[in-house]
Amino acid sequence: MVVVVGESLVDVVIDTDGVTEETPGGSPLNVAVGLARLDVPATLVTQVGHDERGGMVVHHVEASDVAIVAAPTATGRTSTAIARIDAAGLARYEFDLEWSLPRQELPPCRALHVGSLGTALEPGRESVLDLVEQAVARELFVSYDANLRESFVDDAERTWREVRSLAARCTLVKLSDEDADLLAPGTDPDDVARTLLAGERTGMVLLTRGAKGATAFWTTGTVSASPRPVEVVDTVGAGDAFMAGTLAQLADADAFRSGLSSDPAVLERLVGGAVEVAAVTCERRGANPPRRHDLPPGWPA
């Protein structure tokens, strides 16, 4: 079982015609749902309000067979993200977010995944960091997706320090080329990824590049994979689907226990499989990751 910790919210998606649709979202929620849909048991530790949107979130999570530990928000309202979709299907976000997660006891699990705004916003950030330390003390596999949002990065140098500090405690780190540009403007994203690879527990860094695919960095090399041609509906949840696809493959390979492979052929298949999960998600409206039967036969081969 994988424990996923972080924010849950409702995405208010507004398309180019002004049509609005509300769907459950939040990067950690999307990863947990993506894992369960790929037949990896998952528990989501999060916060929701006692309102209609909170009920929507809980129903969505449980309908995907994810167990949920949901602390109440102080305001009673569920957080939201307004996602405005442009002509290319790319989303730009505006957030109304509360994150005040109280301290938690890490449930028994094979791995812990953290990321996004849950690792950045106080006061809940401290509870997430404490869970990471609990996982490290148990010598568990820990993954981290930076998934930054420009509106929450008011001091790039401080954010870069915080990301490096957390990443150093994690086995696997993921970031996008947009994250890299926010953390170290003007720096080659590959160099940002290599800097994060120097963390004391870090065995791999995954750098996603949008329509150009993704690259895996490890101590002795790199591999990349590009997506097949995709008719993009929108990109909401694509990075989260990539993360879930990665973790699902690692679970299949028992890598949470045995460790990450350094075989280039294995890692190329890992990255390619995750890119395919993201591609399917881009063909759908909103954060709607696939189940295994939605993927090509023999996935991730």
Distance of CA 149 to the CA centre of its chain: 13
Whole-prediction pTM: 0.94
With respect to residue 266, please indicate whether it lies within any of the assigned structural domains.
yes
pLDDT-based confidence at residue 187 (cuts at 50, 70, 90): very high
User: What confidence tens digit (pLDDT) does each residue in 234-255 have?
Assistant: 888 899 999 999 999 999 999 9
User: What confidence tens digit (pLDDT) does each residue in 166-181 have?
Assistant: 999 999 999 999 999 9
Give the count of beta carbons closer than 10 Å to the beta carbon of residue 254. 10
Q: What mean pLDDT, rounded, does the chain reach?
A: 94
User: What confidence tens digit (pLDDT) does each residue in 139-158 have?
Assistant: 999 999 999 988 888 898 99
User: Rg (Cα) of the chain, in Å, rounded?
Assistant: 17
With respect to residue 300, please indicate whether it lies within any of the assigned structural domains.
no
Mean pLDDT, residues 111-137: 97
With respect to residue 26, please indicate whether it lies within any of the assigned structural domains.
yes
With respect to residue 301, please indicate whether it lies within any of the assigned structural domains.
no
How many domains does the chain contain in total? Answer: 1
Output the DSSP codes for 58-116. Answer: HHHHHHTT-EEEEEEPSSSPPPEEEEEE-TTS-EEEEEE----PPP-PPPS-SEEEEEG
With respect to residue 299, please indicate whether it lies within any of the assigned structural domains.
no
With respect to residue 159, please indicate whether it lies within any of the assigned structural domains.
yes
Asked if residue 92 has pLDDT above 80, the reply is no
Q: Identify which of 212, 227, 243, 236 has the alpha carbon closest to the alpha carbon of residue 296.
A: 227
Of 17, 96, 240, 252, which residue is the catalytic one? Answer: 240
Mean pLDDT, residues 79-92: 80
Check which CATH number belongs to the domain holding 59 and give it.
3.40.1190.20
Q: Identify which of 289, 206, 291, 292 has the alpha carbon closest to the alpha carbon of residue 27.
A: 289
pLDDT at residue 81, as a whole number: 84
pLDDT at residue 40, as a whole number: 98
- What order do you get walking across the sheet with 2-5 strand by strand? 67-72, 42-48, 2-5, 111-115, 141-145, 172-176, 204-208, 214-218, 221-225
66-80, 122-136, 226-240: which range is least confident on average?
226-240
Q: Find the angle CA(158)-CA(136)-CA(224) to the nearest 5 degrees.
A: 70
Q: Identify which of 9, 5, 2 has the alpha carbon closest to the alpha carbon of residue 126.
A: 5
> Are 4 and 28 contacting, i.e. CB atoms less than 8 angstroms apart?
yes
240 is catalytic: yes
Q: Which domain holds residue 284?
A: 2-290
> Are 168 and 133 contacting, i.e. CB atoms less than 8 angstroms apart?
no
Mean pLDDT, residues 73-92: 84
HSE, side-chain direction, 13 A CA sphere, residue 143:
31
With respect to residue 297, please indicate whether it lies within any of the assigned structural domains.
no
Tell me, letter by letter, the H, E, C secondary structure of 36-57.
Answer: HHCCCCEEEEEEECCCHHHHHH
% of the chain surpassing 90 pLDDT: 82
pLDDT-based confidence at residue 111 (cuts at 50, 70, 90): very high
With respect to residue 295, please indicate whether it lies within any of the assigned structural domains.
no
